[in-house]
């Protein structure tokens, strides 16, 4: 990958970071239809070591998530690593905080984050829909001791 000059990436960076934040917020809120709409129809997602190919496979994996386990995702250090007229690659870190939801508890208490992932997201211009996620890889960089 050739480094992308900051001046070339700046206008695109804000848009892609906003979209990635929206993606993880929708995941945290379990708004899967809105989240899936951010993928291209042939989008791929490497999640928990398994490739999910296409919106249907991604949706099935999301619906299988345990209802009592909540996860919050915090994105940092995002930058445009590669770009062309119809494709852009965004690199970032994502810290996941996982906890068990308890009825009547306003604020969950946890020991700390569960892991830090490297997130590699390939965005592609999708006709009539601006930028969508064509491929995303989340690979653990650190696993925290609980």
Position 6 scores a pLDDT of 66
Position 127 scores a pLDDT of 77
Report angle CA 92, 135, 84 to the nearest 5 degrees.
80
Q: Where are the domains of the chain?
A: 6-143
The pair of structure tokens assigned to 57 is 């496979």
Tens-digit pLDDT profile for residues 25-46: 999 999 999 999 999 999 999 9
Report the predicted TM-score, pTM, of the whole model to 2 decimal places: 0.89
- Any long-range contacts for 53-58 (C-beta under 8 Å, 24+ apart)? none
Position 100 scores a pLDDT of 86
Could you please report the per-residue DSSP string of 31-73? -HHHHHTTEEEEEEEEETTEEEEHHHHHHHHHHTS-TTEEEEE
The class level of CATH for 6-143 reads alpha beta
Q: What is the CA radius of gyration of the chain?
A: 16
- Identify the three-state secondary structure at position 23: helix
Tens-digit pLDDT profile for residues 81-110: 998 889 999 999 999 999 887 766 778 888
């Amino acid at each position: 990958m050739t480094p992308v000059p900051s001046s070339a990436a700046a206008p695109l960076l804000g848009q892609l970071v906003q979209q990635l934040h929206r993606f993880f917020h929708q995941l945290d809120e379990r708004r899967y239809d809105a989240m899936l709409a951010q993928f291209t129809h042939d989008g791929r997602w490497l999640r928990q070591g398994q490739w999910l190919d296409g919106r249907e496979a991604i949706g099935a994996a999301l619906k299988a998530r345990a209802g009592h386990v909540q996860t919050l995702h915090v994105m940092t250090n995002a930058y445009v690593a590669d770009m062309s007229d119809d494709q852009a690659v965004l690199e970032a870190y994502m810290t996941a905080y996982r906890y068990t939801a308890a009825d009547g508890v306003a604020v969950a208490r946890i020991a700390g984050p569960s892991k830090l992932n490297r997130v590699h997201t390939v965005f592609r211009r999708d006709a009539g829909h601006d930028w969508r996620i064509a491929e995303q890889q989340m690979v653990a960089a650190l696993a925290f001791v609980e």
